[in-house]
Structure 1
Amino acid sequence: MSAASELDRLISIMVRLRDPETGCPWDKVQTHATIAPFAIEEAYEVMDAIARNDDQALPDELGDLLLQVVYQARIGEEEGRFDFATIAKTIADKMVRRHPHVFGDAALDPDLWERNKAAERASKSEYGALAGIAPALPALIRAEKIGKRASRVGFDWGTPEEVIDKIGEELEEVRAELPEASRDRLEDEIGDVLFTVANLARKLGLDPEACLRRGNDKFTRRFQAMEHNLARTGKSLADQKLETMEALWQQVKRELAAEQPS
């Protein structure tokens, strides 16, 4: 088995699936736009397998992600615009161009990557420090990228403590909107809070998306532990008063903390 032969096989399978006469009814009617969301979903499943150190699931999830590239390439080829070879050549050329210290005789230049990216954006008539940040990125990831780009030109907080102070200011602005409860204004102000929190993570050298995933996982473990504890006595959370649920929450926090390795 070789990578090249298996890739050729996968591309051939996609040709069969997209055949107008004998292909799969679902596959052959898809477009760039209709299958685009699946690429995002598959990328997150790859991230999940990596986070779980699941070496059995990872090849499968990476295969699902590769399929999305092959799928898009086939649609492009059918429309006479590009094919898989075009995609592979484009990224290969880009990697060689961005690594002259590896593929040429240039000395290592830590700033070369960003200069090359800036030049590539300029060639596409994308100018400015924030050019090229895709609007379709998940909002938390986009916030971190925007903050990082702004920081490169000196528009940034000096210390994490200053960002924390700014979060406090933004929360007060949310509080000020509460009496009126304008949906539009609340959305705007809460957006400011989330943007600033994302940049606090960046200032601390953390990935805000990873931080939120960790928070989601922690809440899920605690909530499910509450449900499990009640189910053993034939009860459910929906039947409990808020005070009881808070007491149960504190209990499972202690129990789960005790299970953590010291």
Structure 2
Amino acid sequence: MIEYQRKNHYDADDLVEIIKILRNPESGCPWDRVQTHTSIRMNFLEEAYEAVDALDCDDPVLMCEELGDVLMQVVFHTCIETERDRFEWQDVCDGVCRKLIFRHPNIFGSQPETEGINDWDALKNKEKGRTTLAQDLDSVPKAMPALMRAAKLQKRAQRRLGESPADGQAVQQAAQAAAQATPELAEQAIGRLLFETVRLARAAGIDPEQALEKQNALFAAEAKQMPQPE
């Protein structure tokens, strides 16, 4: 049993120390000390989604709790890397502070390498050393929800190639092809339909992920009101 100092208020440094205690290979928690990046990968995503739900509910108590859970995930993964002598909590904080300063020359002043660049995406590419479309597309996280990732890929391609035309007819043609597709080609056809629908949404200035989220909520609300079979 470890006697950790009781305080009226804990801070980020306390959180780091508590996770280190839980990760101690000899005296730590049996569950925490055996976790890896891979084993708790989905936990990170779940906590992020729960935090977004709290934001959507505009519930300050729930927001505080869920944002704390997300922060705990950040610290947990950082502690795993500290154990491997690759980086520490201070490096994470230092890195994000430097990034914010670099990407806001209009606030913190231009640096030689950002002189004349005010676009966020251009600054990001400059910082990351991305100079080609392939590098830009490869940097879009594969773990993103598919609709969100499609929109991001299209946006990045647009910056370098120009916008591809989007209209209802393209979606209609994709829908017809999906309806007539053989079982072997059905998945590809449905994927094309969804991709073209994302393009149409972007052309209308609509976030496709949020649009589908709202439709999901509407469907659920309507379904709950429908009479259920005995």
TM-score tier by shorter-chain length is 0.7 to 0.9
Separation in 2, partners of 1:71, 1:194:
36
- Are the aligned partners of 2:133 and 2:160 in contact in 1 as well (CA < 8 Å)? no
Deviation of the 1:103 alpha carbon = 1.4
* Structure 2 match to 1:152: 159
Q: 1:123 to 1:109 in 2, by over 3 A?
A: closer
Q: Deviations over 1:31-74 (max 9, x none)?
A: 11111221111111111111111122111110011111000010
Report the equivalent of 1:72: 77
Q: Out of 42, 57, 62, which is 1:57 matched to?
A: 62
| Identity over aligned pairs, percent | 34
Q: Pick closer, same or farther for the CA change 1:108–1:50 going to 2, 3 Å.
A: farther
Alpha-carbon separation, structure 2, partners of 1:135 and 1:105: 32
Alpha-carbon distance in 2 for matches of 1:108, 1:99 = 12
Question: Is the CA contact 1:174–1:189 (under 8 Å) kept in the aligned structure 2?
Answer: yes
CA distance, structure 2, for counterparts of residue 131 and residue 201 of structure 1: 23
CA gap 1:176/1:224 in 2 versus in 1, 3 angstroms: same
CA–CA distance in structure 1, aligned partners of residues 8 and 121 of structure 2: 35
The residue number in structure 1 matching 2:149 is 142
Where do residues 111-130 of structure 1 align in structure 2 (5 Å cutoff)? Answer: 111=119, 113-122=120-129, 127-130=134-137
How many angstroms apart in 1 are the aligned matches of 2:199 and 2:28?
A: 48
Aligned partner of 1:82 in structure 2 is: 87
| Structure 1 residue 123, shift from structure 2 partner | 6.2
Q: Quick one: distance in 2 between partners of 1:128 and 1:76? A: 26
User: Would you say the 8 A contact 1:96–1:103 is kept in 2?
Assistant: yes
1:181 to 170, 180, 183: 183
User: Counterparts of 1:105 and 1:28 in 2: how far apart (Å)?
Assistant: 44
1:11 corresponds to which residue? 16
Structure 1 residues not aligned, in runs of 5+: 231-235, 240-262
Say yes or no: does 1:217 pair with 2:208. no
Distance 1:70 1:110 in 2: 32
Which whole-Å deviations, capped at 9, do the CAs of 1:70-112 have from their partners, x for residues lacking one?
Answer: 000100001111111111111111111111221125788542x
The residue type equivalent to 1:35 in the other structure is I
* Number of equivalences: 221
TM-score (normalizing by structure 1): 0.77
Alignment of 1:191-206 (within 5 A): 191-206=191-206
- 1:146 deviation in Å? 0.7
Who is 1:133 aligned against?
140
Please give the alpha-carbon distance, in whole angstroms, between the structure 2 residues aligned to 1:167 and 1:123. Answer: 32
Is 1:168 the equivalent of 2:172?
Answer: yes
- Structure 1 residue aligned with 2:52, among 47, 54, 60? 47
Q: Which 10-residue stretch deviates more, 96-105 or 20-29?
A: 96-105
Q: Which has the larger radius of gyration?
A: 1
Assess if the C-alpha contact under 8 Å between 2:105 and 2:118 holds in 1.
no
How far apart in 2 are the matches of 1:152 and 1:114? 9
- Runs of 4+ in structure 1 displaced over 3 angstroms? 105-110, 123-129
For structure 2, the 5+ residue unaligned runs are 1-6
Give the conservation status (yes or no) of the 8 Å contact 2:125–2:131.
Answer: no
Q: C-alpha displacement at 1:131, in angstroms?
A: 3.5
> Is the counterpart of residue 22 in structure 1 residue 24 in structure 2?
no
